[in-house]
Amino acid sequence: MKKVFVAGATGWAGSEISRAIFNNDEMILTGGLSLSQDGKNLSEILSLKSDNNIPLFKSIEDAIENVEFDILVDFTKPEIAKHNIHNALQKGKKVIIGTSGLTDKDYEEIERIANENNTSVLAAGNFALTVVLLQKFAEMAAKYIPHYEIIDYADAKKIDAPSGTVAELAYRLSKVQKPELSVAIEDTIGNKETRGATINGIQVHSVRLPGHTLGVETIFGLKGEKLILRHDSGESADPYVKGVLLAIKNIDTFKGLRRGLDSIMEF
């Protein structure tokens, strides 16, 4: 039986993930992290059918000291997540990262700590199956089409840019083939910033507007033709829940850091 602790347990995604873990026969939800609900019972907050207290804590240190768990699932904010992840790994816990905004440098440090403590980390910019497929299709296209850019869509209130989904996609595509530019960014006439940000050698454009939940569009172009791969998330957290449960079930199958849900899936 896997004992799981959720950081961000009362948030939009974390609350649905907590419910799913609680209702899974192969898992035990032992507690959660919530700055605003410290000391309260997660069972009561989420209306879980349990007579047991599932405690909420304001810090990962308090949680590690007071509850037993094998796996940390983190859906918080980047600065909080780094602190949670480092502390959990140093105690030999396995970690699943759904928090966006962590950088490649952050992941290098996380990988080092995981290896030093002989434990496992799975990080996914997005746990939805449709995103996994978009990443796979985009990697296939990038092998043959050397001209492409990425558009990142999210709600106006999302403070990090690009999203974790797009950051992960840019990282992966850069490993396949970095795109060619017909005009170098520094040679752009006018406002160079309108060409977007260069991330891992790829131009990324982040759009933040009301009406968007989360979306990613990868546009590939060749002379006389183009290919557009696009994913849009709805308002439900259900797609992420399924992916996180899959990650929990497979976190014991490797050591070190893996990035992308597909790293534990068969295609």
- Res 237: pLDDT: 84
Question: In this predicted model, what pLDDT tens digit does every residue of 97-131 receive, in sequence order?
Answer: 999 889 989 999 999 999 999 999 999 988 998 99
Distance CA 139, CA 148 (A): 11
- Res 234: pLDDT: 83
- Res 125: pLDDT: 80
0.85 surpassed by pTM: no
Question: In this predicted model, what pLDDT tens digit does every residue of 205-262 receive, in sequence order?
Answer: 999 999 998 899 999 999 999 999 999 988 888 888 999 999 999 999 999 999 989 8
* Segment 42-66 mean pLDDT: 94
Question: CA torsion, points 127, 131, 132, 138, in degrees to nearest 10?
Answer: -150
- What the chain holds in terms of domains, given with CATH numbers, is 2-123+236-264 (3.40.50.720), 129-233 (3.30.360.10)
The pLDDT of residue 266 is above 80: no
Distance CA 71, CA 227 (A): 40
Question: In this predicted model, what pLDDT tens digit does every residue of 179-204 receive, in sequence order?
Answer: 999 999 999 999 999 999 999 999 99
Distance CA 137, CA 123 (A): 20
Q: Please state, for a pLDDT cut of 70, what percent of the chain lies above it.
A: 100
- Res 197: pLDDT: 97
- Res 267: pLDDT: 67
Distance CA 7, CA 11 (A): 9
- Res 83: pLDDT: 97
Task: Give the H/E segment covering residue 131.
Answer: helix 129-144
Averaged pLDDT score across all residues of the chain = 95
Contact call for residues 85 and 72 (beta carbons, < 8 A): yes
- Cis-peptide into 162, omega within 30 deg: yes
Question: In this predicted model, what pLDDT tens digit does every residue of 150-179 receive, in sequence order?
Answer: 999 999 999 989 998 999 999 999 999 999
Distance CA 143, CA 164 (A): 23
- pLDDT higher for 191 or 49? 191
